[in-house]
Amino acid sequence: MTTRGRSCFVKLTVLAVFVIFMLLLLLSSLHSRDLDLRQHLETDVERALRAKLLSPLAHPSETIEEPLDEELERQLEHELPEVDYGFWTHYAKPQKYRKNNTCARYPDPLELQLHNTYWQTFTNANVTFRLYAAYMDMRRGVKLPLGVVRILATANQIKSEFPPTHCQLWYAGHKEPVMTQVSEFLSVWIYDWGHVPLLSYPHLLSCPVPKTLFHATPRIVSLVSKSCDSATNSLRVHYDRSPVANVTVKPSSSSRLQVNSSSQTYSKSSSIASPSATSISNATVKLNFGVCVKAFDFPYVDLSARLIEWFELQRLLGATRIYAYIYDVHPAVQRVLDYYQRIDFLELRPLTMANGMPRLRHYQHQLLQHRRLIKRLNELIPYNDCFYRNMYRHDYMLNVDIDEVIMPLGTLNSWQDVIDVDEIETKRRCPNGHVSLCFINTYFSKVVPEAQNHEQLEADQLYVLQHTLRYRNYSLPNRATKCFHNTRFSVTLHNHFTLKWLPGGCMQRTLSTQLAQMQHYREPDQKYELSDLVEDRSVWKYATELRAAVENAWLHLNDVQEQDTNVEDQNTLEELPEQETALEQAQEQHQVLEQTHTANATN
């Protein structure tokens, strides 16, 4: 290599080394800057999480103490309301409650097969049951003279035979369980409405009570495949005959809760009085009405104004108490529900799905919106649970949604008035009474008529007073209907009908639209013209009382400054895909009528 060539090679080598050095320097600088950026770009979630993790150290006085025995027992029963920890702690455990050392041991609460929080699993042969709750049924029409324990559950089959299943009845004061066999597996769903293998289909199981135990009711029931098996499920048996106080709240800025219990009259030993719409503060009435609402699923929409209005209207019409279930709701809606629980007008129960879908806000909402069969199956659980928990406390139970109102018409002002006026016709048709009294559906459009006077202008904050245009044509009888279910007779309930009932009652009857109608605040399924709408201001007879009651509720909620809630949110209720399609309604009408005719013939 020549001297000149050697010199060029050296220069190129030096240049290459210099370039590599500069690249390394640049990379080092970028890496250092990236670390700085990562430190400065910590997300709000990370900061919040870190603050939450460090908060016990920052505030040692806020540490959570383990509850003492009695408080722990209360907390456990709050978490799992169907498990009777008190009975286990104070009786079953110290008494070693069992048949013998090798047979039928009382189930330890820590060994239960829990499922999705509020359910318990029982497997027998190839059938998987999810057990929800149990109730004592001592009504006169029960074929067994001493009644049965009803168990509300789901099974992963429908229209198939069930394997023999045994009941272990656990009584206070006994040393051994009482063994019986499940006498009936009643489906609460009709096969032809829709069926997919292995879904959770609601059923009502019956455990007969032995004749020798006519003075006592069981505290707990367990299901087993063989009578001597040790159960891994345990349900407290509900038998609540306590009256519900007639709660009224007088509208004033400084009003306090008024509980009228001294002037109650009772229509039967287990019934209580309900407020009359004509004089809700001092009246005494013969009948009382409980209202059941399926699980709320409104995670994103603030429907608090609509909900308050609906609660207060139910009270004016004659509801003694409302029983509702909850999946997930907007925080503002939760505040409203908390208020009505505080004044003892609402009993609210959390609910999960029998098929095990987790109670996750977004996922669960999507499932309920897009899996209609699963949704419909799960709705039957709260309707039937509500009925059986409260059938001794009310004369009639009503299953409705929060966009539905049973409206007395003409001079009738309350549900009591409707029943009283119809009593002669009912006794003529059926001396013992109908299993259900049903009302024809009519749709109220979201179209708002132009205000005609100052009084109507004042109604702009109350939805039902604004929306008084209804579709001219009523729905066909038995389609989209809602009913008062007679607690003396009903056995299994659909959201529209009593599916099966005890002997003695007559088939459900639809009342005339001269007496009452079921006002459904949503758009009709079929297209219509404005000329198809007629004005119906039946609700306006409650306008003064309703305005005062709603205002009073807002004052108690300390939300006066937020009364102008988002109108768009309040209207959203109409657009939520909660309702059945016309095809579903027609199918249900056909199948339910066929089922009820069959049941009527059987009875």
pLDDT of residue 213: 81
pLDDT of residue 585: 59
CB 369 within 8 A of CB 300: no
pLDDT of residue 223: 99
Tokens of 199: 């879904």
Choose between 356 and 282: higher pLDDT: 356
pLDDT of residue 584: 59
Rg (CA), the chain: 31
Written as one letter, the residue type at 166 is: H
CB 136 within 8 A of CB 238: yes
**Average pLDDT for residues 528-551, to the nearest whole number?**
95
Q: What is the dihedral of CA 167, 173, 174, 180, to 10 degrees?
A: -20
- What is the rounded distance in angstroms from the CA atom of residue 463 to the CA atom of residue 496? 25
Q: Among 21-25, 210-214, 281-285, name the one with the lowest average pLDDT.
A: 281-285
Give the length of the chain: 603
Tokens of 564: 């102008």
**Average pLDDT for residues 47-53, to the nearest whole number?**
45
CB 284 within 8 A of CB 271: no
At residue 15, does pLDDT exceed 90? no
pLDDT of residue 44: 44
Q: What is the mean pLDDT of the chain?
A: 83
Q: What is the DSSP string of 533-568?
A: EEE--GGGGGHHHHHHHHHHHHHHHT-GGG-S--HH
pLDDT in tens, 506-537: 999 999 999 999 999 999 988 999 999 999 99
Tokens of 592: 């339910």
Place of tokens 């789901």: 154
pLDDT of residue 245: 63
- What is the rounded distance in angstroms from the CA atom of residue 475 to the CA atom of residue 471? 9
**Average pLDDT for residues 97-124, to the nearest whole number?**
96
Residue 234 has a CB neighbour count (10 Å cut-off) of 29
Q: Among 3-7, 233-237, 272-276, 299-303, name the one with the lowest average pLDDT.
A: 272-276
Tokens of 220: 């707990």
Q: Which DSSP symbol is given to 192?
A: G
Residue 337 CB contacts under 8 Å (≥ 6 apart), including other chains: 296, 307, 324, 326, 329, 346, 348
Q: 223: closest CA among 296, 310, 155, 314?
A: 155
pLDDT in tens, 376-389: 999 999 999 999 99
pLDDT in tens, 420-475: 999 988 889 999 999 999 999 999 999 988 766 655 565 567 999 999 999 999 99
**Average pLDDT for residues 558-583, to the nearest whole number?**
54
Distance of CA 603 to the CA centre of its chain: 30
CB 499 within 8 A of CB 493: yes
pLDDT of residue 525: 85
